[in-house]
């Protein structure tokens, strides 16, 4: 399986608008990989897009993605969904089949009650809405939803044959420690706070490292890296030297499993 990290940023992008901190200044001057757009992942094998941040059109153009046939949503939060107009962009006047959109029933219910955009898109045949409660086969790829313990977000086991990854782009503090998630070929999860120790939010040392120790993936890659951490791309590369098989993602990163 070939994954492309389209965006590695968090709910606050890098560079942040109107911000003159050292991280944002460097990102403006140097561009990628110092620049981080909204968190999103693409599986090239079956043209599967995970989440649609506001930057998704730029991300798809930047990384020269040619097709999107499926979109899977991890949860309804705005930094993961507000780019959903990409469905219109990808399908308007193109004569292509609707994009298959998968999300848990809870999130679909919130989305349908909150606005009429997704039903409108479905009526225009930009997309087809599907409830994903357990698992789905898309071509040769199996995707199994793993509900997080917070009750509203999801992670996913993505597999082809014996190759498996666990993908949890947000709320890693709520990853269930279960046998099914142990010894993955790769785990991709959101980076917790490096410096702030709020027990309601994911923390790097308290939560990320504990989860790695308990689930024992062959390697771990972090995404959803926030501007608020005030840490540069080069500083993250230096941090990698302190840990075994731990990497900090960046926009355009290729992950082969």
Q: What is the pLDDT of residues 40-54, one digit of tens each?
A: 999 999 999 999 999
Query: Residue 30 belongs to a domain with what CATH number?
Result: 3.60.15.10
Q: What is the pLDDT of residues 7-31, one digit of tens each?
A: 999 999 999 999 999 999 999 999 9
CA angle centred on 99, ends 170 and 66, rounded to 5°: 85
- Per-residue pLDDT, averaged over 187-211, amounts to 96
Which has more pLDDT, 138 or 117?
A: 138
pLDDT, residue 142, reads: 98
- List the alpha helices (DSSP H) in the chain: 22-30, 56-62, 78-81, 86-91, 105-114, 117-123, 209-215, 233-240
Least confident of 65-69, 152-156, 193-197, 235-239: 193-197
- Per-residue pLDDT, averaged over 176-201, amounts to 96
3-state secondary structure of 39: coil
- Per-residue pLDDT, averaged over 85-91, amounts to 98
Long-range contacts of 24-33 (CB under 8 A, 24+ apart): 24/227, 26/232, 26/233, 32/62, 32/250, 32/251, 32/252, 33/233, 33/250, 33/251, 33/252
Gap between the Cα atoms of 143 and 17, Å rounded:
36
Q: CB of 45 within 8 A of CB of 140?
A: yes
What rounded mean pLDDT belongs to the chain?
96
Q: Percentage of the chain surpassing pLDDT 70?
A: 100
Q: State yes or no: pLDDT of 58 exceeds 80.
A: yes
Which has more pLDDT, 166 or 114?
A: 166
Tell me how many domains the chain contains: 1
Q: What is the pLDDT of residues 126-181, one digit of tens each?
A: 999 999 999 999 999 999 999 999 999 999 999 999 999 999 999 999 999 999 99
Flag whether the pTM goes above 0.95: yes
pLDDT, residue 145, reads: 98
**Residue-range definition of the domain harbouring residue 6:** 2-256
Least confident of 102-116, 161-175, 209-223: 102-116
Give strand ranges (E) for the chain: 2-7, 40-43, 48-50, 70-72, 99-103, 127-131, 135-138, 141-147, 154-160, 163-168, 186-190, 220-223, 246-248, 253-256
Q: State yes or no: pLDDT of 55 exceeds 80.
A: yes
Q: CB of 247 within 8 A of CB of 240?
A: yes
Is residue 107 very low, low, confident or very high in pLDDT (cuts 50, 70, 90)?
A: confident
């Amino acid at each position: 399986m070939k994954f492309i990290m389209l965006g590695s940023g968090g709910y606050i992008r890098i560079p942040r608008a109107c911000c003159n901190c050292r991280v944002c200044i460097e990102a403006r001057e140097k561009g990628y990989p110092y620049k981080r757009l909204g968190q999103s992942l693409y599986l090239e094998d079956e043209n599967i897009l995970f989440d649609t941040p506001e930057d998704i059109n730029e991300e798809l153009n930047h990384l020269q993605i040619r097709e999107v046939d499926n979109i899977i949503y991890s949860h309804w939060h705005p930094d993961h969904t507000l780019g959903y107009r990409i469905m219109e962009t990808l399908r308007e006047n193109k004569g292509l089949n609707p994009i298959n959109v998968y999300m848990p029933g809870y999130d679909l219910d919130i989305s349908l009650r909150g606005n009429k955009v997704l039903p409108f898109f479905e009526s225009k045949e930009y997309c087809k809405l599907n409830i994903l409660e357990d698992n789905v086969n898309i071509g040769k790829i199996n995707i199994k939803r793993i509900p997080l313990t917070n009750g509203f977000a999801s992670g996913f086991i993505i597999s082809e044959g014996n190759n498996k990854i666990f993908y949890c782009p947000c709320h890693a503090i709520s990853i269930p420690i279960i046998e099914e998630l142990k010894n993955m070929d790769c785990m991709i999860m959101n980076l917790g706070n490096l410096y702030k120790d709020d027990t309601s939010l994911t923390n790097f040392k308290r939560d990320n490292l504990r989860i790695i120790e308990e689930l024992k993936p062959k390697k771990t890659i972090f995404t959803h890296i926030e501007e608020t951490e005030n840490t540069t791309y080069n500083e993250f590369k230096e941090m990698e030297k302190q840990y075994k098989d731990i990497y900090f993602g960046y926009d355009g990163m290729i992950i082969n499993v």
